[in-house]
Amino acid sequence: MDPAILDTVLMTHLTLLRERMDEAASLGRAAEACGNAGNVAKAIEIALDVEQLMYEANTLLNAASLMNRICRM
């Protein structure tokens, strides 16, 4: 793969990864605020929304890592 194309693809993956992690962090803060306000059940409900985002972030990281290893050999 052309190095310039690889860098573009990897940067796209990293941007998408950061977006998922930012959203997960926002949900974590919201869950914490609910918990601190005394609504622990709602805090857990919000916190569970992080699961899909973390899965997607992990998948993006794994894909970027694999492409980097394979294409830079």
- CA–CA distances in Å: residue 73 to residues 3, 10, 23: 12, 15, 34
pLDDT in tens, 28-46: 999 999 999 999 999 999 9
Q: In the numeric block, which tokens belong to residue 29?
A: 């803060």
Are 17 and 57 in contact, with CB atoms under 8 Å apart?
Answer: yes
What local confidence, expressed as pLDDT, does residue 30 receive?
98
Looking at the predicted structure, is the pLDDT value of residue 73 above 80? no
Name the residue ranges covered by the structural domains of the chain: 3-71
Q: What percent of the chain has pLDDT over 90?
A: 92
Q: In the numeric block, which tokens belong to residue 56?
A: 């997607």
